[in-house]
Amino acid sequence: MKIRYENSLPLAAEYFGSFGEASGYDVGTLTPEQLVDFDVLAVRSTTRVTPELLNCANRLTLVGTATAGINHLDTRYLDAQGIYWMSAAGCNAQAVAEYVLSVLCNAHLEDITDLKRARVGIVGAGHVGSALSRLLDVLGIEYVLYDPPLAEQGDERPFTDWLTILNCDVITLHVPFVQNGAFPTDKMIDAEVLAGLSAKQLLINACRGEVIDEVALKQRLMAGDGPTVVLDVFANEPDIDADLLQYLWLATPHIAGHTLEGKYSGTQMVYEAICDLAGQTPEKSLDDFLPERPNLHVDLELCSDQGDNLAPAIALVLSVYDVKEDNNHFRKGLAGPTSFTAMRKQYRVRRELAGHKVECSQQPDSAIATQLAKLGFNLK
Ligand SMILES: NC(=O)C1=CN([C@@H]2O[C@H](COP(=O)(O)OP(=O)(O)OC[C@H]3O[C@@H](n4cnc5c(N)ncnc54)[C@H](O)[C@@H]3O)[C@@H](O)[C@H]2O)C=CC1
Ligand SMILES: O=C(O)C(=O)[C@H](O)COP(=O)(O)O
């Protein structure tokens, strides 16, 4: 079997090498001729799989993307050609949920959002939206879910309406980018929606840039008194509107899903699909590759000094992942499309919360210990 893979799939050689010939290509360099006689194409969101790209693909049986989003695949064309395609659904849901949590923790500390009173509107209750709702449940933060497709499919969770979402203190977007059909998301946050948002609200987009009308967003933010905005994703990546950044509270280069766990899981899922194709039982697993998590030390006494029972969780979440570091790095490093892609592909090693061992300066009270354990921390 011959496999062509985008080099940014971590561990691709380790996972795919045993199937036969596996050869990588750098982002933006794949040509149609390089797919001649290949059975499998493994990509991330930075390879657009179009009819033109597959022009010479005479043997292609499987296109696998190690990502949750699929809007870079022409799935209609693949279906029409009888080429099986798969995505790594849910691989990085926890990563994105923890990105949003890190944003919320910072917003709480900076008095942008009072997490004890705030209501979070989660738009899209799939893998990411659900992972986020579980984190908010642990912390006792109120939220509502909006997901008409799931409601229509009979999902029994309580769903709210669009107007209620637009009145939430925090609106966080976790939908796929869809242009057609009954539930399009293209510019679902448009000029009219933006006009109704106030300076008391926080708007987070970590799904796809095109879900917000960015031209309207910039105009709204330039006019003043607009919502606080956090963007991980932008229209027209990697050639983004850098001028927009000055109006955003936090901005990051599409790395919300880029934990080590999220990226390795994506490759693992593509590997499992190839095993399936080859009629083999998967022998490799994430545990073969994931390094141990570092230990954390936290002074709980200091944390709870502020009389805030969210303080220990916030301190720990931010000690594992503080989105502000990525924001600072992005703003310093952005100099055109090449740097946007480079910052994504050379992203630092980021780990998820679960499994971190925590040494506390004092025994936490039982409610806080339970909360931290439910976030996945191992209290020593
Ligand atoms: N920034 C990043 O690094 C990442 C971004 N993403 C993006 O986030 C999106 C969501 O990821 P997952 O939760 O894993 O996908 P998912 O497919 O599990 O969930 C998406 C949910 O959105 C719902 N939905 C679709 N259209 C809707 C509409 N018009 N209104 C409300 N809800 C709607 C679906 O019913 C589904 O439940 C992905 O499609 C991808 O584009 C995903 C992972 C990482
Ligand atoms: O999974 C998705 O969907 C994402 O947006 C990924 O985080 C995108 O990462 P890259 O494939 O662009 O590295």
pLDDT digits (tens, 9 = 90+) for 54-107: 999 999 999 999 999 999 999 999 999 999 999 999 999 999 999 999 999 999
Q: Average per-residue pLDDT in the chain? A: 96
Catalytic residue among 6, 98, 214, 237: 237
Q: Give φ, ψ of 347 to 5 degrees.
A: -60, 145
- At residue 279, the pLDDT reads 96
Helix (H/G/I), strand (E/B), else coil: 17: helix
Give mean pLDDT, residues 318-328. 97
Answer yes or no: 293 catalytic.
Answer: no
- At residue 308, the pLDDT reads 77
Q: State how far the Cα of 331 lies from the Cα of 334, in Å rounded to an integer.
A: 6
Distance 264 CA to ligand 2 centre (A): 12
Task: Report how far apart, in Å, the C-alpha atoms of 169 and of each of 32, 191, 197, 341 are.
Answer: 48, 19, 10, 32
Q: State how far the Cα of 121 lies from the Cα of 320, in Å rounded to an integer.
A: 25
Instruction: Give the number of other Cβ atoms within 10 Å of residue 110's Cβ.
Output: 11
Q: How far apart are the first and last CA of the chain?
A: 48
Contact criterion met (CB below 8 Å) for 263 and 66: yes
* Token pair for 78: 């693949």
- At residue 230, the pLDDT reads 99
Give residue 346's identity as a one-letter amino acid code. Answer: Q
- At residue 297, the pLDDT reads 85
Please tell me whether 90 is known to bind a ligand. Answer: no
Distance 1 CA to ligand 1 centre (A): 32
pLDDT band at 364 (very low <50, low <70, confident <90, very high): confident
301 pLDDT above the threshold of 90: no
Helix (H/G/I), strand (E/B), else coil: 345: helix
**ipTM for the whole predicted complex goes beyond 0.90:** yes
Write the Ramachandran bin of 352: left for phi over 0, alpha for psi from -120 to 50, otherwise beta. beta
Rg of the chain over all Cα atoms, to the nearest angstrom: 21
112-129 burial, b at 16+ Cβ within 10 Å, e below that, comes to bbebeebbbbbbbbbbbb
DSSP 301: H
Q: State how far the Cα of 94 lies from the Cα of 81, in Å rounded to an integer.
A: 34
- Residue-wise pLDDT for 7-54, tens only, equals 999 999 999 999 999 999 999 999 999 999 999 999 999 999 999 999
- Residue-wise pLDDT for 259-290, tens only, equals 999 999 999 999 999 999 999 999 999 999 99
Catalytic residue among 108, 127, 174, 208: 208
- At residue 306, the pLDDT reads 58
Give mean pLDDT, residues 190-211. 98
Spatial CB neighbours of 39, under 8 Å, sequence gap ≥ 6: 1, 2, 3, 59, 60, 61, 62, 277
Report all structural domains of the chain as residue ranges with CATH numbers, in order of start.
Answer: 2-87+259-288 (3.40.50.720), 93-251 (3.40.50.720), 296-379 (3.30.1370.170)
The pTM (predicted TM-score) of the whole model is: 0.97
The residue whose CA is least distant from atom 37 of ligand 1 is 126
The residue whose CA is least distant from atom 3 of ligand 2 is 69
| DSSP labels, 103-140 | HHHHHHHTTS--TTT-EEEEE--SHHHHHHHHHHHHHT
Answer yes or no: 344 catalytic.
Answer: no
Burial of 300 (0-12, 13-18, 19+ CB in 10 A): buried
Distance 310 CA to ligand 2 centre (A): 30
337-376 burial, b at 16+ Cβ within 10 Å, e below that, comes to eeebbbbbbebeebbbbeebebebeeebeeebbebbeebb
- Residue-wise pLDDT for 140-187, tens only, equals 999 999 999 999 999 999 999 999 999 999 999 999 999 999 999 999
pLDDT band at 300 (very low <50, low <70, confident <90, very high): confident
Cis amide prior to 238 (ω within 30 degrees) = yes
Task: Report how far apart, in Å, the C-alpha atoms of 128 and of each of 46, 318, 335 are.
Answer: 20, 19, 30
- Report the candidate in 118, 149, 104 with the shortest Cα–Cα distance to residue 322: 104
Burial of 58 (0-12, 13-18, 19+ CB in 10 A): exposed
Maximum C-alpha span of the chain: 66
* Token pair for 101: 């949590």
Please tell me whether 111 is known to bind a ligand. Answer: no
- At residue 302, the pLDDT reads 66
Helix (H/G/I), strand (E/B), else coil: 325: helix
DSSP 268: H
Choosing from 67, 210, 259 the residue with most ligand 2 atoms within 8 A of its CB, the one to mutate for a pocket test is 67
Distance 33 CA to ligand 1 centre (A): 33
- Report the candidate in 267, 359, 272 with the shortest Cα–Cα distance to residue 312: 359
Helix (H/G/I), strand (E/B), else coil: 218: helix
Residue ranges lining ligand 2, Cβ < 6 Å = 8, 44-46, 67-69, 92, 257-258, 344
Q: State how far the Cα of 151 lies from the Cα of 154, in Å rounded to an integer.
A: 5
